[in-house]
Chain A
């Protein structure tokens, strides 16, 4: 049976996890011996695509064709790209979407497509590890991701052929893994400093209900920024000008330096740079901390804001019951001390900050797959207020930040000119007062308002946010009942047609790649079926008549033959036929074993192991 998976799609590393038969979340080893797949995608000149460690190791050599930290571009428009993120990349400036030009401009890819490549690899590795196709999936996003970024992440999942059950906020997923592990109760702060994003969430845990009280963050702050400031210092000390090419080499050196200084006081190494130059890196932990302190301090206001929104900041700040660290950058000793000073207590670090998000995502995927778990429920919030633009460019908030989702709210508006027959609805996200300072999500025009004097028409605008934190807007003119509904597609997002086209293209373009993937998946599945049937013959062979057994064995022979070919459709067909032929056998075995297992037991002892029929 297909198993649900949870994926942490990170800025620097990505992971996939699942819940095993003993109900424990496990990460899948994806890259050699590691569970962490570097979020690096190399578009080779020959049209092939390399993802993960190999791509990252070649990044200094092929800087333009190797996309790192693509998450920083997700759901962004061309105008949103920060200069330091532009780096060495070449951009395809045509159209309203961010497109990265690779292979000397012969190919251009959107951040959604790049992310989908990472997801495809994770999905494939999970299928290999689980020896079968993967089922539904939970993808995690930074809690502070806006609507456009969420939509883009969901599109990437779809493009990778994943059945995305739900988007879950990273700190919430971490809390889930943590809370379940520790059976905690009380109010907790989750401080999540990843490669490129920072989030803080305040949660209340009561009897397995994880209620997010508030969240805050910065989708542009993370360990990458530590590396950048260190890299710039290293280049300056070596009298090297900061060309994008050298910077990428220096950033790789900075990563090594920073990781080393987590455990030692001093480091001195030479690093080869592209072009045969050598970078001498000599740094003490004090030097490092002086460099990164301003970046770390940028998290303070966000934490205090989240405490305030949760109603915990008054009277000198009522303490939370615990602080959980998430994200690789929280290994940095300075970060730990800083967190301690903000929350007034030693942070909890029992779980691996790199894997805890993926583990939580797996728990949630498993719970969704089983129609909910009685012991856990996540109640999440939207991170940023949703509003509509009014006359004069001011924003009227319709749903406030930190509202529990799903959420919905309606407000009435009217016309401002006599005889006005249309009304532009401009949906925005953010806390600022003016539309130009908020993020534009979508714009549409409600037409067909009957002409009447200004102020008489009644237009009702409804915002609905679903459990993924994604917005839908509808507008209705009340005197005529004219209504328009749109699922908000971000101004800079992909339209439904574009996702559709990319899906088709990715299948055409990488037709062989897809075939290969299916081939691997179905071969594994075929192997599994043959093995389990053969061991069943040994144990329960007496349940079959010789004729029946021959009937099944004939199928197995056909399946074996098909598995020696590259025809995955044939393998699939033989698997189904073998499955069908052995169904009666499986039922008899089941009855026999249940009868045996139940002898001497009460029926209710089995209640927890039998899945209700609607779970299938």
Chain B
């Protein structure tokens, strides 16, 4: 029986929205290498963009001198992304899942990032401890 190889990659960006494109390029490159098609690559890239945007906006309150670490771990068909920061923590269970019909008919704004992440990825898990905040997202190649 052959062993499953693991591939790892890492990028760090400062907490600035103008650097989101670097994370997107990094994710789409590795998602393509993993074998995902264009539509999935775009969606995974958006999930990570949303996560980083939320960290910049809510975690760091737009302070530009903090860091966001993004790690990719590819094992077999599993594409795993770990996003770490040292910003403000929050209770992910308190984030309401929008009812899109109600959301659209009442012209609501914002709060769609987490919803997109959950719709797109197979797993979305937050882990907060005294040292750092980590978001783990997984998408399995079908």
Mutual binders A and B: no
Q: Which residues in B have some Cβ–Cβ distance to A below 8 Å? A: none
Q: Which residues in A have some Cβ–Cβ distance to B below 8 Å? A: none
